[in-house]
């Protein structure tokens, strides 16, 4: 659930666009978050659901995702007992600035849904096939397709506070370094190393959405189950495409 500004049709012309105003607070306003008793992890989780729903169910998502385009808004009158604990039932994300969007056709949307569900279930073969449909390819895709799936499993992993994220990044880097050493030992390493051949444009925007969620969890010192949320919305998306 989220709120968005909508056009005031009686005030719109060819040169002027008037929209309703959202009243809320910056999503990284720690003082306001504390004042209203916001469960930060739950708020970021709601934002993640909004992003995943746009991508996997609607096929249209904001191509300029950053914290400045997100508020947390008070949907209902607050209880007089502000200090009484979590009031997130009254708070929803406010999503701003859809002036730049990416649209994904049904074929690609289905492939994204299949990719994410396969990654969630640990089915790297199906994930690799979905990546081919999406047009993702590097110079190791044919020789070691499981590495592509490993990368996207890492990309869509849960978002955590900085310390945990840094540890995960270190472990993934070490795994890649070990693969590199094994390739060299087996005399199969490409001269130019691992390099991209084909990268769909929407992948770039998708990575920015994931980066937004990781940035928020780092700033707010909380966690968000990105893969689980993506898988839930992917199942909804496949059901609607059936």
Q: What angle do CA 69, 205, 93 make, to 5 degrees?
A: 30
Six-digit token pair at 5?
């500004």
Helices (H), 37-123: 40-53, 106-121
- Predicted structure pTM score: 0.86
| Phi, psi (rounded to 5 degrees) for 103 | -110, 135
Running along the chain, 242 residues long, what does each successive block of 10 average in pLDDT? 88 91 91 90 93 92 86 68 50 86 92 95 93 92 91 92 89 94 93 88 86 91 94 96 88
Residue 127 · residue 118 · CB < 8 Å: yes
Q: How many residues does the chain have?
A: 242
Q: What is the number of other CB atoms lying within 10 angstroms of the CB of residue 185?
A: 9
- Residue whose pair of structure tokens reads 């916001």 in the numeric block: 38
| Phi, psi (rounded to 5 degrees) for 55 | -70, -50
What pLDDT does 80 receive? 47
CA 61, CA 50: separation in Å to the nearest integer?
9
What pLDDT does 162 receive? 85
């Amino acid at each position: 659930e989220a709120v968005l500004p909508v056009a005031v049709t009686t005030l719109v012309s060819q040169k002027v666009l008037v929209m309703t105003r959202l009243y809320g607070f910056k999503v990284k306003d720690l003082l306001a978050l504390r004042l209203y008793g916001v469960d930060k992890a739950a708020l970021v989780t709601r934002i993640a659901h909004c992003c995943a729903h746009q991508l996997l169910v609607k096929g249209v998502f904001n191509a300029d995702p950053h914290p400045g385009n997100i508020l947390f808004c008070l949907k209902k009158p607050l209880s007089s007992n502000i200090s009484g604990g979590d009031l997130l039932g009254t708070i929803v994300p406010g999503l701003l600035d859809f002036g730049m969007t990416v649209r994904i056709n049904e074929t690609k949307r289905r492939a994204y849904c299949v990719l994410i569900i396969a990654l969630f279930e640990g089915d790297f073969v199906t994930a690799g096939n979905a990546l081919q449909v999406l047009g993702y390819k590097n110079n190791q895709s044919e020789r070691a397709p499981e590495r592509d799936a490993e990368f996207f499993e890492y990309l869509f992993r849960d978002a955590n506070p900085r310390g945990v994220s840094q540890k995960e990044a270190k472990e993934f880097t070490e795994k890649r370094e070990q693969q590199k050493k094994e390739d060299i030992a087996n005399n199969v390493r490409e001269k130019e190393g691992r390099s991209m051949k084909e990268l769909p444009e929407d992948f770039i925007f998708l990575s920015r959405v994931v980066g937004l969620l990781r940035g928020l969890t780092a700033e707010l010192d909380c966690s968000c189950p990105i893969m689980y949320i993506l898988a839930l919305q992917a199942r909804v998306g496949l059901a609607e495409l059936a």
